[in-house]
Structure 1
């Protein structure tokens, strides 16, 4: 039976996508969800949607981590880093560089990693 509320493309990874996206601000969480599922749902269109959310976050100075306090930010950052390391190590969804940049880079390097992946996929005609 198909679960339209929490479909398998969010649960079939090394962990459930919500574990990471709930640690992030809305824009960054949406980008992660689109990247997490792109191969199992809408293909490169999902990566382009993720890029839209990243661009919007950059344009509006939206931080990746959503937190209520300094302590909460630290806790969320540590948890997010652990999950992103898993995604990078597994090259989840063939986006290893994207996950690495999201963990260690800047918003601009994350954007660049995703834009370059989109270009690569479109050149290959996937």
Structure 2
């Protein structure tokens, strides 16, 4: 049925907390003032950290780590450029 497919696209269980909080709302709240790679990497870290237990386990934790390390490198490079 169309409705169940729509739920999997718009409100999948692995992106929702037991209280109904959705990862997209968390990402929006914590990236609203970021731009470019900072917004992308932060959003992806949050996404993978929120869903790891209910979706891909260690693979999602590794993805979160990759995006976090990428963000750290980016911020360090900006700091070096601004010295």
TM-score (norm 2): 0.64
Distance across 1 between alignment mates of 2:55 and 2:49: 10
Distance across 2 between alignment mates of 1:47 and 1:38: 6
Decide whether aligned partners of structure 1 residues 56 and 21 sit closer, same or farther in structure 2, where only a CA change above 3 A counts: same
Alpha-carbon deviation of 1:5?
Answer: 1.7
TM-score (norm 1): 0.44
Alignment partner of 1:32 is 2:37: no
Match of 1:59 in 2: 73
For the residue of structure 2 that corresponds to 1:5, the secondary structure is helix
Q: 2:16 aligns with which of 11, 36, 60?
A: 11
Query: Across the two proteins, how many residue pairs are aligned to each other?
Result: 62
Alpha-carbon deviation of 1:13?
Answer: 3.9
Alpha-carbon deviation of 1:61?
Answer: 1.0
Q: Where does the alignment leave 5 or more consecutive residues of structure 1 unmatched?
A: 63-126
Distance across 2 between alignment mates of 1:13 and 1:59: 34
| Greater C-alpha Rg | 2
| Matches for 1:35-50 after TM superposition, within 5 Å | 35-50=49-64
Match of 1:70 in 2: none
